[in-house]
Amino acid sequence: MADKPYKSHLKFNVLVSSASRPMLYKANKAEDLTGNWGNNHCYTYVLLNPGKEESNLTAALSDLITRKRDQLKDIQGFTLIGQKLTQITPGMLVSNESRPNLPFVAYYFLGFLALVIMLSACLNYTNLSTARALTRAKEIGVRKVTGARRKDLIFQFLSESVIMSLLALVMAVLLLFLIKPAFTGLWVNQYLNFELEGNLSVYSIFTGLALFIGVVAGLYPALYLSSFQPVKVLKSLDAMRPGKLGLRKVLSVSQFVISLLFITNSVLLYNQFKHFLSFDYRFTAKNIVNIPLQGNDYRKVSQVFSAVPGVTSISACDYLPATYTQNGISLKPVGSGQEPTKMTIILADEHFAGNLGVKLLAGRQLAPTRDSASRFILVNEAAVKALGYKHPSQMVGQGVQSQWGNETLEVIGVVEDFVFRAPMGGTDKIGPLVLRNEPHGFSYVNVQLVSVDLREAVTRLGKEWKRIDRVHPFRYEFYDQQLAETNQGFFDLVSILGFLALMAVIISCLGLLGMATYTAERRRKEVGIRKVLGAEDLSIAFLLSKEFLRILFFSVCIGAPLSYFLNNLWLQNFPNRVHFGLGTVLLGTLFLLGLGLLTIGSQTLRAARAKPVDALKVE
């Protein structure tokens, strides 16, 4: 198969035929788990017969579990669940993800954010259209006098709105081509592989959405403008002027409240991202190089690498702590009637804890590899408490039993708690952990370097690797960089929300700019008269800005408490969260006020500095 990303939820490097597996078992190249019902490393795909439904499959699976009751007696809560192939992507597998995927809730969340931005744009158009009502009132009155019906005017204004929306669609598609590389270049896209391909159906949906948005945005202005009475608008426009709480002011306040929410949320997420970068994992990751074994014997690799200058210690493990990978095991004390406790297990050699700087609190380290060494385990402080012991020393020498069989393990030591889940995981608590020495499961060697020139030391490791393995390329990553990369997905979220916040603020400021320009133009003669009578530029600028300053004031009064409440709401459920105080809201508020004042001031100061003669000679 081609290396080019293909459309499937299954990602692989090598495919092995099931027919060849018996030979692999005999050659000890693969572990035979065909009779192990506790093994969940296999996906089974079934094709239902015509006329059969999901309920028939569920009944068949239940019957299978009943028939295999004897083989499943040691596996509590064992179930078989069917899932439609069409529900896997987009979506999630019911368990044991084959690769990172984007759940439906993420699509809904991003769609909601896009809807909020679109709503802000619709409010903007509605706001500007109603603000221009005074300039179009005489046009409407004349058209009605000359025989135009209300539905004709509604059709005219809706047509203007739809045409505006279609023109916006053209600009949006051009903008899409410009920003598309930024989205496809996101770190998380190496796992999601979305390409944002355009086709006829996609552009048809775009066109339909543009028509719908055009109607939604233009409906109120069309109904409002077409309702003007010819006699009133041709006689005097004073009756048409909005009151103190006109709809356009409410719409403007709504826009800036949305903008403040986006700004505050983006600042908070950025602070949370910085918090993750400085997160204390309680183990040493600096100067550790993780090298995938790629099927090689870890003993041979360790022996060769230990002779490289600059290498101080080497350990091995099956996966790297705090990098979104976890394996589970359930244990209970031997002879105990309590339910087995779910724990995380890391397969590691006797040097692993010391290499990462994890302190041993009681007992001794894992034993070197021997036939019986795998029955000895280390546990952390959280596991001691979960199993009902108060002090680490009480746990040493105790036997524990696995949920999946009759195997008895002996605890020979207790290590201090360290973070083995990614900091963005579902909890900020350190759970129970087991370390067990099983070399057949090792996938990485962890090489601790003290060389001043780390790159030179890595180059030497690469040369030694070629002596060990002439087939596989030398691959390595510095552990501290890997831990930083685990937060890149969060940084992608910060980037997306920051971009949406920028769009929301720009849309709001453009609306405010349009209204300020319109107000300055409408009061041009008034400004000229005031200047002739001796008014100062600043007093005129303040006079023209008062209405918009009220809008900003009300926006902050509503948006600031709302931002604080909503952000605190979701932050409470976030593990390892950063402190969220009033300073974040204040920073977002100052940013919004700064942009708003800059937008207003650019027009009011220009109007205030205009020559009176230019304003008074218009008519």
Q: Which two tokens stand for residue 122?
A: 């619709």
Q: Which two tokens stand for residue 557?
A: 């009064």
Task: Give the Cα separation of 52 and 46 in Å (integer).
Answer: 12
Least confident window among 80-89, 415-424, 430-439, 509-518: 509-518
Task: Give the Cα separation of 377 and 437 in Å (integer).
Answer: 7
Averaged over 47-66, what is the pLDDT? Answer: 91
Task: Give the Cα separation of 344 and 361 in Å (integer).
Answer: 19
Residues 45/98, Cβ–Cβ less than 8 Å: no
Closest CA to 264 of 587, 531, 615, 596: 587
Q: Does residue 102 surpass a pLDDT of 60?
A: yes
pLDDT for the residue numbered 372:
57
pLDDT for the residue numbered 435:
95
pLDDT for the residue numbered 245:
42
Averaged over 556-573, what is the pLDDT? Answer: 80
* Reported confidence tier of residue 426, pLDDT bands at 50, 70, 90: low
Structure-model confidence comparison of residues 368 and 465, the more confident one: 465
Averaged over 49-72, what is the pLDDT? Answer: 88
pLDDT for the residue numbered 41:
67
Scanning 27-103, the segments in alpha helix (DSSP H) are 54-67
Q: Which two tokens stand for residue 398?
A: 């105790």
pLDDT for the residue numbered 243:
46
Closest CA to 313 of 283, 362, 369, 357: 357
Least confident window among 211-215, 456-460, 580-584: 580-584
Q: Compute the Cα dihedral for 241, 247, 249, 251 and give only its sign.
A: negative
Mean pLDDT over the full length of the chain? 82
* Reported confidence tier of residue 591, pLDDT bands at 50, 70, 90: confident
Q: Does residue 303 surpass a pLDDT of 90?
A: yes
Which residues are within 8 A (CB) of 382 and not within 5 positions of it... i.e. 6 or more apart?
417, 429, 430, 431, 432, 433
Q: How many Cα atoms occupy the beta-carbon half-sphere of 457 within 13 Å?
A: 21
Percent pLDDT > 90 in the chain is 25
Structure-model confidence comparison of residues 236 and 253, the more confident one: 253
What's this model's pTM, rounded to 2 decimal places? 0.66
* Reported confidence tier of residue 462, pLDDT bands at 50, 70, 90: very high
Please list the residues that pair with 411 across neighbouring strands: 377
Least confident window among 256-265, 321-330, 346-355, 576-585: 576-585
Residue 525 CA: distances (Å) to CA of 234, 445, 531: 21, 80, 10
* Reported confidence tier of residue 616, pLDDT bands at 50, 70, 90: low
Structure-model confidence comparison of residues 9 and 112, the more confident one: 112
The letter for the amino acid at 612 is: P
pLDDT for the residue numbered 145:
83
pLDDT for the residue numbered 583:
81
Q: Compute the Cα dihedral for 103, 107, 110, 116 and give only its sign.
A: negative
Backbone angles phi, psi at 177, to 5 degrees: -65, -30
Averaged over 232-236, what is the pLDDT? Answer: 59
The DSSP letter of residue 20 is G
Q: Does residue 236 surpass a pLDDT of 70?
A: no
Q: Does residue 76 surpass a pLDDT of 70?
A: no
pLDDT for the residue numbered 585:
84
Residues 351/313, Cβ–Cβ less than 8 Å: yes
Q: Does residue 422 surpass a pLDDT of 80?
A: no
Averaged over 529-546, what is the pLDDT? Answer: 80
Residue with tokens 């005074």: 134
Task: Give the Cα separation of 218 and 336 in Å (integer).
Answer: 72
Residue with tokens 């996101």: 186
19-56 residue pLDDT tens: 998 998 898 877 888 877 776 667 788 999 999 988 99
Residues 420/387, Cβ–Cβ less than 8 Å: no
Q: Compute the Cα dihedral for 306, 312, 315, 319 and give only its sign.
A: negative
Q: Compute the Cα dihedral for 518, 522, 527, 528 and give only its sign.
A: positive
Averaged over 399-422, what is the pLDDT? Answer: 84
pLDDT for the residue numbered 405:
56
Task: Give the Cα separation of 259 and 209 in Å (integer).
Answer: 23
Cis peptide before 22 (omega within 30 of 0): no
Q: Compute the Cα dihedral for 116, 122, 125, 130 and give only its sign.
A: negative
Q: Does residue 335 surpass a pLDDT of 70?
A: yes
Residues 564/582, Cβ–Cβ less than 8 Å: yes
pLDDT for the residue numbered 485:
81
Size (the chain), residues:
619
Averaged over 575-602, what is the pLDDT? Answer: 79
476-506 residue pLDDT tens: 999 998 888 877 776 787 788 788 878 888 8
Structure-model confidence comparison of residues 49 and 405, the more confident one: 49
